[in-house]
Chains A and B, each alone.
Chain A
Amino acid sequence: MNTGESFLRKFVTAFVLLILLGLIPDPDDYAAAGQYWDFPKLPPPHMYGNVLINRLSEKNGVKPVFFSHWSHRSKYTCRVCHFELDFEFEVNKTEITEEDNRNGIFCGTCHNGKEAFGHTPKNCDKCHTGTVDLDKAKFYDLAIKVPRGFFGNKIDWGKAIRYEVIKPIYSIFHREEQPLAFRKRLELKAEWNYVPPAVFPHQAHTQWLDCANCHPDIFNIRKKTTKNFAMQYILDRKFCGVCHLKVAFPLDDCTGCHPAMSRKKRR
């Protein structure tokens, strides 16, 4: 009885240890993070960031709205829509109505026949397309002109704006407005051993975004006070994952944030 019990105990301990050993990850695994994490499947480059908005469309008997991030971000910064016009960072969450657009808010702020094509019966089909697989030729017309990236749209949008290949408008309310000269580069310690720190350059973000796009809702403004800031939540479309899963370069690009991460040198 005694020997049987101690054998069982040893067996259980060994089993637990084995499982724990299995949990200690091999650092090389991180390099191929796409295999480790359950990332959303990437669409072809011309469809990355394309969105189908169907909060009310089909209920009202019209086709859902096609919105492409790439075509809009080449002319306007993220800030214009997501900060000044208060579009949410989640599909179908912004309470856009046909009436709102006609009242000159949301899409209707620009799509009024002056800044961009108007919200008129003639133009319904331009947005209410019901599909996101559109404008492939137009996309590649743009893609050949701008610096190449590795994931997502396979466009390095950061370089594109830095080298002024594209000049997206920073504000539609105050055309003279410039990004704040806040250039602090943060080094964020990773939560796991073996993972080199993430680097966060404010400047690369403020070219596109406003302070308030991230602060204080997503990230607190006081250092080290943002709770639950961990990779698992980022994958759950929180924190960096708000943008870096579907529109900004996707998380598949580990070295994009963890530059010291070991991976074969990028082309």
Chain B
Amino acid sequence: MINRRLLFCGVFMVAGLFLITFLVNAQAFGVKKKRPKLHEYGNVVINNFSEKAKMSPVVFKHWLHRSKYTCRLCHIDIGFAMQAGGTGMTEADNQAGMYCGACHNGGEAFGPQEMSSNGASIPTCDRCHSYGKDVEFKYDFYTFRKNLPVERFGNGIDWLKAEEQNLVTLKDYLPGVSIKRSKIQEPKELDLSAKEPNMPDIIFSHKKHTVWSGCELCHPEIFTVKKDAQPFSMQEIFAGKYCGFCHGTVAFPNIDCQRCHTKVVI
């Protein structure tokens, strides 16, 4: 009797497993994946400790921060990891002036408390710990986008043009955190030949990248400094390595083929 019951359980479990794998598979292949909306692109939910501490997770908006600061400032000088949740900062870290707290201290940007007009201090927790909450933010994405050059994909903003035309001004130096760096002449454009015949070659512009990323964001960890020492494939980029670290998550996504594969093959 027990055996039969066990058998029944077993059959049910196997059938259940099949059903689950079928349902998972039903979604997982052969169709287009969903892309985030323009205002969601580059948004990151940070939840290393938030929910454990009974707080809403933090929603970090790349579009808002990159309209004022270079990528390098946070990812190199302040030391943020390149993966969501990879930094693992704590509230104590922030209050000690590290990570978010390097700017969000009431000086460079709003701190944990703000003074209202009548002199009372209001906690600002919600402005970052906003996941799942209906928070009214100071900046609206679509209003912000209206004044910037439009581009397809990502945030729907041509960030490079916006920077070139001084529509956004980027800070690259934070007193007390950054070191004084002398300007290095960036290397020339790189011509990367595509493996696939008929695919146009890639023209990589150091100049366009160094404005935002300096040298350190890519070298030597993501790309070695020696030329051609490190073959990489589109397959790996799609999987989030090499160019895919930024292009696909924050910078324009790597589905925009013609933006990198620009050199016409004759």
Measuring CB to CB, which residues of chain A are less than 8 angstroms from any residue of chain B? 83-86, 88-90, 93, 95, 100, 103-105, 173-174, 177, 180-184, 210-213, 216-218, 220-222, 227-229, 233, 236-239, 241-242
Contacts and interface: CB of A to CB of B under 8 A. Distances in A.
B198 A84 contact: no
Given A212-B257, A238-B31, A105 B265 contact: no
Given A173-B151, A180-B261, A239 B256 contact: no
B23 to A, nearest CB: 13
Contacts of A233: 29-30
Contacts of B142: 103-104
Contacts of A227: 29
Contacts of A180: 198-200, 257-258, 261
CB-based closest 5 A-B pairs: A238-B30, A212-B255, A84-B152, A103-B142, A239-B30
Contact of B235 (A90, A173, A221, A241): A221
A241 B196 CA distance: 26
B260 to A, nearest CB: 12
B30 A216 contact: no
Contacts of A184: 197-198
B31 A217 contact: yes
Interface in B215-260: 234-235, 238, 255-258
A180 B257 CA distance: 9
Contacts of B171: none
Contacts, number: 78
B199 A242 contact: no
Main secondary structure of the interface of A (DSSP, over half): loop
23 contacts: A83-B152, A84-B152, A84-B153, A88-B32, A90-B31, A105-B38, A105-B156, A173-B151, A180-B199, A180-B257, A181-B265, A184-B197, A212-B255, A212-B257, A213-B32, A217-B33, A218-B31, A228-B25, A233-B29, A236-B30, A238-B29, A242-B30, A242-B32
Given A95-B37, A229-B30, A177 B198 contact: no
Residue of B32, B235, B256, B265 with highest tally of chain A CB at under 10 A: B32
A23 to B, nearest CB: 22
B30 A218 contact: yes
Interface in B186-222: 196-200
B150 interface: yes
Contacts of B261: 180
B126 to A, nearest CB: 23
A209 B37 CA distance: 21
Contacts of B183: none
Nearest to B156: A105
B35 interface: yes
Contacts of A239: 30
A81 B123 CA distance: 44
A184 B265 CA distance: 15
A90 B200 CA distance: 31
A79 to B, nearest CB: 10
Contacts of A95: 37
Nearest to A106: B37
Nearest to A213: B32
Contacts of B4: none
B108 to A, nearest CB: 30
